[in-house]
Amino acid sequence: MNKPLIVTIFIFTHFYAFSQDIDRLILNNDFNKALQLIDSQLIINDAQPLLYLKKGMIMQRKYDFSNALKCLEKAYSLDSSNVKILTELAEVNSSLGNYRRALPYRQSIFDTDTTNLVYAIGLVNCYFNLRTYREPYKILFSAYTRDSNNLFVNKQLAFAAMRTGHDSLAIALYSKVIDQNPSDLGNYTNLASVLQKKENYTRVVETLEKGIAAFPDETSLLIKLGDTHFTKRKYDQAVDSYEKYLTKGDSVYDVLKNLGLSYYYQKRTKEGLELLENCLAMKPNDPVTALFIGLCYKDLKQYKESIAYMNFASRNALPYYLSDLYSQLGNVYSEERDFKQAVRSLKKAYSLDSTKHEILFKIANTYDVWQKDKSQAIRYYNSYLKSPKEQNDMHQKLTEYVLERKKKLAR
């Protein structure tokens, strides 16, 4: 045997034994000693990708992901085709939330063997973390054609199908995986969501009831079932679901509100009124709640209260900024000397929020500038003076101006 071959065998045998020592230390969680051995060899020769790989793996075990990433990137620079290095780089980047940086590594791994399910799922999960679903759908559908009975593939493909508009396939797959594994809560809620999209009320109810049978204490299913009945105006069934929820869960505003509305439609007026008044205390500006409180008082023939709540509802039904929008539009029309449109916009603004009394001044001033006949201007100046204004500098100055202006117009 020639001398170079003997040297090569010796080096290989030495490195193999050394590598086994490191693996044994890692297995025993003796990370510091393993790192010392690795660093001692890297001092001698730093062009050893497998040692950087092992060092990166140890750093991951120590949750030192930043240094793990540096070691693995060094390993990759020395050996960019090693699947193990690519895998660990993808894992570290994923642990750091760098899914976009992990993606090309996952893609490179997958490209080495597109039939390898482990590689495929790694790439799919990376896409899912990036909220991208078209590529995962293609990958998973290919895996599905090779093995249509794999539970995990079916579940993942169902999710991708749901996200990409392949609703019929999603429904079929979710139905299948629920039968295979009835203990996975997410499958029930996802299937119910796809069925709702298809407006298949009967199957939505069946799915949610099946989920509740498997998870009797899962409040999210009770809420979803109650909301499904409520949307279809099946108030008796909605009340049943919401009441069951309230025995198990917190007093969520939307549940209390929908239950109160359902009571109203069931003619359980006093119960509905009590719940809705509690809801209005929780969210004081909800016009729908205020409207139905008014309707409850109407049914109880307490008309003054009914009128008060309905007026309150009508004021809050409009976006708070709509009056300001029309007021500013009036200002722009005035700048453009289109006084007719300016007055129209300002009157609309005041009709939307009659607490903004400065709009009366703007209307009066616009008429004053626009029309030779000052009767409309005087009328709105008077309305402004009579309005219950806040005591502030702006209204004080406007009031002084109006009083002076009226004196001049009276001459």
What lies within 8 Å, CB to CB, of 305 at 6+ separation is: 294, 297
Residue 401 lies inside a defined structural domain of this protein: yes
Q: Tell how far CA 243 is from the center of its chain.
A: 27
Q: Looking at the structure, tell me whether residues 262 and 356 fall in a common domain.
A: no
Task: State whether 264 and 346 are in the same domain.
Answer: no
In this structure, the dihedral spanned by the alpha carbons of residues 196, 200, 201 and 206, taken in order and rounded to 10 degrees, is -100
Closest CA to 401 of 386, 384, 379: 384
pLDDT of residue 13: 45
User: Quick one: 306 and 261 in the same domain?
Assistant: yes
Residue 161 lies in a domain: no
| 330 and 306 co-located in one domain | no
Same domain, 401 and 369: yes
Residue 108 lies in a domain: no
Same domain, 14 and 94: yes
The pTM assigned to this predicted structure is 0.69
Let me know whether 299 and 346 are in one domain. Answer: no
Q: Is residue 12 part of a domain?
A: yes
Say which CATH number the domain at 298 has: 1.25.40.10
Final residue in a domain of this structure, among 317, 336, 364: 317
Does 270 share its domain with 354? no
- Name the strand (E) or helix (H) holding 265: helix 253-265
User: Are 123 and 106 in contact, with CB atoms under 8 Å apart?
Assistant: yes
Query: Which two structure tokens, joined as six digits, stand for 123?
Result: 């790439």
**Statement to judge: residues 240 and 305 lie in one domain:** yes
Q: 34 and 86 share a domain? A: yes
pLDDT at 16: 53
To which residue do tokens 């990137």 refer? Answer: 73
Q: Read off the tokens for 303.
A: 């008309």
Tally the domains of the chain. Answer: 3
pLDDT at 10: 39
Helix axes 49-61, 31-44, angle to 10 degrees: 160
Supply the DSSP symbol for 112: H
Q: Give the residue numbers spanning the domain of 391.
A: 326-410
If we measure between CA atoms, which residue out of 59, 126, 122, 111 comes closest to residue 80?
111
User: In this structure, are 268 and 348 located in the same domain?
Assistant: no
Looking at residue 8, what is its pLDDT?
Answer: 41
pLDDT tens for the 411 residues of the chain, in order = 455 544 344 344 444 556 777 778 777 777 788 888 888 888 888 888 999 999 999 899 889 999 999 999 999 999 999 999 999 999 999 999 999 999 999 999 999 999 999 999 999 999 999 999 999 999 999 999 999 999 999 999 999 999 999 999 999 999 999 999 999 999 999 999 999 998 899 999 999 999 999 999 899 999 999 999 999 999 999 999 999 999 987 788 999 999 999 999 999 999 999 999 999 999 988 888 998 999 999 989 888 888 888 888 877 776 777 888 888 888 888 888 999 999 999 999 998 888 888 999 999 999 999 999 989 999 999 999 998 877 788 888 899 999 999 888 887
Domain end residue (candidates: 300, 317, 334) = 317
355 shares its domain with 265: no
Query: Domain boundary residue among 57, 82, 102?
Result: 102
Q: Has residue 116 been placed in a domain?
A: no
Tell whether 175 is covered by a domain. no
Would residue 337 count as lying in a domain? yes
| Distance of alpha carbon 121 from alpha carbon 43, whole angstroms | 38
Task: Give domain status of residue 21, yes or no.
Answer: yes
